[in-house]
Structure 1
Amino acid sequence: MGPEGKTFLNIIILGFGFMFMFTAFQTCGNIEQTVIKNFNSTEFHGSGYTSMAIIYGVFSASNLIAPSVVAVIGPQLSMFFSGLVYSGYIAMFIHPFTWTFYTASVFVGIAAAILWTAQGNLLTINSTDATIGRNSGIFWALLQFSLFFGNIYIYFAWQGHVHITDKDRQTVFISLTVISLVGSFLFFLIQRPEPEATPSEASESLPAESTESLCSQALDAFNLNVLILTMFECVTRHCLELTFFSGVYGTCIGAMTRFGEDAKSLIGLSGIFIGIGEILGGGVFGMLNKANRLGRNPIVLLGMITHYVAFYLIFLNIASDAPIAPEEGTPGKAYLTPSIEVALLCSFLLGLGDSCFNTQLLSIVGFMFREDSAPAFAVFKFVQSITAALAFFYSNYLFLHWQLLIMVIVGFLGTLSFFVAEWMVVKSRRDTDYDSI
């Protein structure tokens, strides 16, 4: 197998590893608030929203050390050990205690910073300028199959269950723990790319001289381009859209008593439709990077419009108090007669719009920071995870219509930020071409 074939295989393995890991973790995040509300224990006082706020808060701080960890032990081992921590968090739900729940949340925040820094580094060193867009799309599509498979299981396992019993919970989380471990061990199949296939020796091995100190790494990467991109990403995905569709929207659907006794199983079905949108968008928009002469902006604009349609339909279809409804759910009325079909259409649109953003973000960050991919991805995640922590925190208190309004406003501002970043990339490329004449 030639160098190009080896690097392409590495991308496929990377995608499958994340697919298994996040089949478990994203399914866990989608159902954990509902599971907690149905947990029969007077000693447990945890909140799924608070757990996610802790994860992203620690995630943000841990990005300051993540590049050095990846430099010392390498991206492959970094992802493996991080995956073990994710598996431990999922296993904790087999019999949760408040202290283990929040302690595991802290460790997952640390592991997440290392995992995603290593992922960005591996994606970059196994790509060229010509293949970064394709590889980003392939990785993202494989990753989003995690939403499809995990939620199929939840849909059938919980169909007709008005209350989630201890046995239901334990069966689900034992299965998810095993699936997560499979993903972690897949990372050992990734091969070291040939020197000529990598864009830079420094990007691949991250030698000691390129990692003089944490502060210098962060400051080198924290330039104007990163500021623009992190602003866009934190307000349009991790801060808002990801927070909403990965934890809040499924909880809203499960709380709607007007959806009948299958409302809990609809959480899984909603996740499936989000996954279909992610997979379709990841495949199509990732491939368009190479053939699209208009650049990334039209795809990002399409993502914003798609999400706006979804937000409006959710506003009309779901009761405003659904995000913070008690265990028995909410009988509250929406502006329209609540429709399961509309709710699932919105799930699909949320996934499709999210894939528009993320395929283009992976592509543009990998292109701009080829020489310093690990610290660039770390600083990028640092800013976005702070805002995600805040978003999960306010999800404990804000009614649905206020959450939707926030997403509409900052989504618009974030899209404008991306347009500026893309213009800077195009301008830089033109200047380089001119200087080479």
Structure 2
Amino acid sequence: MDSREEEAPLVPSPDLESQSVRRSHTRDVHVLSCSFLLIFLAYGAAQNLESTVLTVQNLGTTSLGILYVSFTFFSLVASPMVRSLGTKNALILGSTGYWLFIAANLIPSWYTMVPAALYMGFAASIIWVGQGTYLTSTARSHAEDFKVHEGTVIGKFNGEFWGMFASHQFVGNLFSLFLLGDEEVLITTGICVVNIKFMLLLDVTVPISFNSYPSMFSCYVIDNAVFQIRAEYTKHIVRPAIGESGVGGAMAVYGAFDAVCSLAAGRLTSGLPSITLIVSGGALIQAIVLLWILLKYSIVSGVLGVVYPLVMAAMLGMGDAVFNTQLNALLGLLFRDDTEGAFAQLKVWQSATIAVVFFVGPFVSLQAMVLVMIGVLGVSMAAFLFLMLYSEKAFSPRTP
């Protein structure tokens, strides 16, 4: 008999068991991150088709508007649904909505796109609430197992997830350069099938119960700022400056900075003070972009005509990275008894705002949109800072 076999312990040592647990926690984050990269790589390509190819009777944009109205409605009841299904089952079921919506683009009509959009609204509500709950509970389990600071683990896990998620903007825009139409739909439908298989690899996690904290309206509002800016940015700045062909390149820059800054911001997160500092920095970057657009920006020729939109794309990507990683980490830290409900409320505000952008955006000028966003950003940051002061007092140890 091999001497190495004789020396092998019959019962694994505690150190080996700890390493196994650690691999399990980080493995789940890797799987979840890769799954969302795949599904939104596919969905992003389909969403581009909605606004560029399905233009007859505004079928594409109307379908997207219906999707986000449905998303808003179902987010109101997503919390009990996810709690009943379990986070893993919610993630798997939610993936099917993206597959169906992308497949509907093969036969685009009111009879295929509208039902698919309605179902995807339901699917999106449970997949995103499931994602936030699953990632947070996994981070809490990891922190408890290894006796490390919970805020640091939540920040690190969110950084990895949102970094991988954001990279779909970069990869997807490059992907769209080589494929178009039915060929793109077929491939992205196949990607969704692979994604569902990825979801099946996730372990089942049980959320840990802690004390609850008050609601955070400011988080829900501030997290919508980047998307609204981004939609108007491509329409009013990128296309006039560098043309339709430049949109993909600008959004690839956006995605690259979003991904890198998500990873960096997640690594820097350690608790409420770090979240406050990082979010304030992100809000400042967004304010600079808004004021630049409102007061100084004008389309110019030559190299600067290309550079300016790309610099804006990079700054918007940085802001998106900050808000995604930090506000989702903050929800995980403060909402401990009802994690599902917290992320459900976040998605209600996000999806409602996006629906408004799709339906109202074409009728509102860029200047009016920027003014509204400056006001929203200011009110949101004031509420956010007030919340941080309140939370710091709640977290600080009480003296007898």
Alpha-carbon deviation of 1:253?
A: 5.8
The answer to whether structure 1 residue 55 and structure 2 residue 40 are counterparts is no
The correspondence for 1:146, drawn from 163, 168, 183, is: 168
Q: SS in structure 2 opposite 1:308?
A: helix
Alpha-carbon deviation of 1:370?
A: 2.1
Query: Mapping of 1:73-84 within 5 angstroms?
Result: 73-84=85-96
Which residue of structure 2 aligns with residue 172 of structure 1?
184
State the alpha-carbon separation in 2 of the partners of residues 340 and 92 from structure 1.
36
The answer to whether structure 1 residue 286 and structure 2 residue 254 are counterparts is no
The answer to whether structure 1 residue 389 and structure 2 residue 355 are counterparts is yes
State the alpha-carbon separation in 1 of the partners of residues 78 and 91 from structure 2.
11
Which residue of structure 2 aligns with residue 209 of structure 1?
none
Give the counterpart letter for 2:326 in structure 1. Answer: Q
Q: SS in structure 2 opposite 1:396?
A: helix
- Aligned residues with identical type, % of pairs: 24
Alpha-carbon deviation of 1:277?
A: 1.6
Alpha-carbon deviation of 1:383?
A: 3.1
Alpha-carbon deviation of 1:307?
A: 1.7
Alpha-carbon deviation of 1:156?
A: 4.6
Which residue of structure 2 aligns with residue 354 of structure 1?
320
Which residue of structure 2 aligns with residue 237 of structure 1?
223
How big is each residue's C-alpha offset from its partner over 1:173-192, in whole Å with a ceiling of 9 and x where there is no partner?
22222223322221111113
Check 1:411–1:199 CA distance in 2 against 1; reply closer, same or farther (3 A cut). Answer: same
How big is each residue's C-alpha offset from its partner over 1:131-170, in whole Å with a ceiling of 9 and x where there is no partner?
111111111111111111111112355xxxxxxxxxx322
How big is each residue's C-alpha offset from its partner over 1:77-111, in whole Å with a ceiling of 9 and x where there is no partner?
21112111112212222331134223222211111
State the alpha-carbon separation in 2 of the partners of residues 317 and 32 from structure 1.
33
Which residue of structure 2 aligns with residue 26 of structure 1?
44
Contact 1:133 1:363 in 2 (8 A): yes
TM-score by length of 1: 0.77
Unmatched segments (≥5 aa) in structure 1: 38-43, 158-167, 204-219, 319-333
Q: SS in structure 1 opposite 2:249?
A: helix
Check 1:231–1:384 CA distance in 2 against 1; reply closer, same or farther (3 A cut). Answer: farther
Which residue of structure 2 aligns with residue 301 of structure 1?
280
State the alpha-carbon separation in 2 of the partners of residues 84 and 230 from structure 1.
31
How big is each residue's C-alpha offset from its partner over 1:11-45, in whole Å with a ceiling of 9 and x where there is no partner?
111111111111122333345312234xxxxxx41
The answer to whether structure 1 residue 11 and structure 2 residue 29 are counterparts is yes
Alpha-carbon deviation of 1:121?
A: 1.3
Contact 1:314 1:343 in 2 (8 A): no
State the alpha-carbon separation in 2 of the partners of residues 5 and 375 from structure 1.
29
The correspondence for 1:342, drawn from 308, 316, 319, is: 308
Alpha-carbon deviation of 1:428?
A: 0.8
Give the counterpart letter for 1:249 in structure 2. Answer: Y
State the alpha-carbon separation in 2 of the partners of residues 408 and 27 from structure 1.
30
State the alpha-carbon separation in 1 of the partners of residues 134 and 193 from structure 2.
20
Contact 2:45 2:172 in 1 (8 A): yes
Q: Could you say which structure has the larger radius of gyration?
A: 2
Alpha-carbon deviation of 1:252?
A: 4.3
Unmatched segments (≥5 aa) in structure 2: 1-18, 141-149
How big is each residue's C-alpha offset from its partner over 1:229-256, in whole Å with a ceiling of 9 and x where there is no partner?
334433x333x421442x4433446743
Alpha-carbon deviation of 1:402?
A: 1.9
Q: SS in structure 2 opposite 1:36?
A: coil
State the alpha-carbon separation in 1 of the partners of residues 181 and 293 from structure 2.
28
Alpha-carbon deviation of 1:199?
A: 6.0
The answer to whether structure 1 residue 267 and structure 2 residue 289 are counterparts is no
Which residue of structure 2 aligns with residue 120 of structure 1?
132
Which residue of structure 1 aligns with residue 143 of structure 2?
none
State the alpha-carbon separation in 2 of the partners of residues 26 and 231 from structure 1.
28
Q: SS in structure 2 opposite 1:2?
A: helix
Check 1:146–1:121 CA distance in 2 against 1; reply closer, same or farther (3 A cut). Answer: same
State the alpha-carbon separation in 2 of the partners of residues 345 and 98 from structure 1.
39
State the alpha-carbon separation in 1 of the partners of residues 93 and 296 from structure 2.
42
Alpha-carbon deviation of 1:362?
A: 0.9
| Count of matched residue positions in the alignment of Structure 1 and Structure 2 | 370
Alpha-carbon deviation of 1:396?
A: 2.3
Moved over 6 A (4+): none
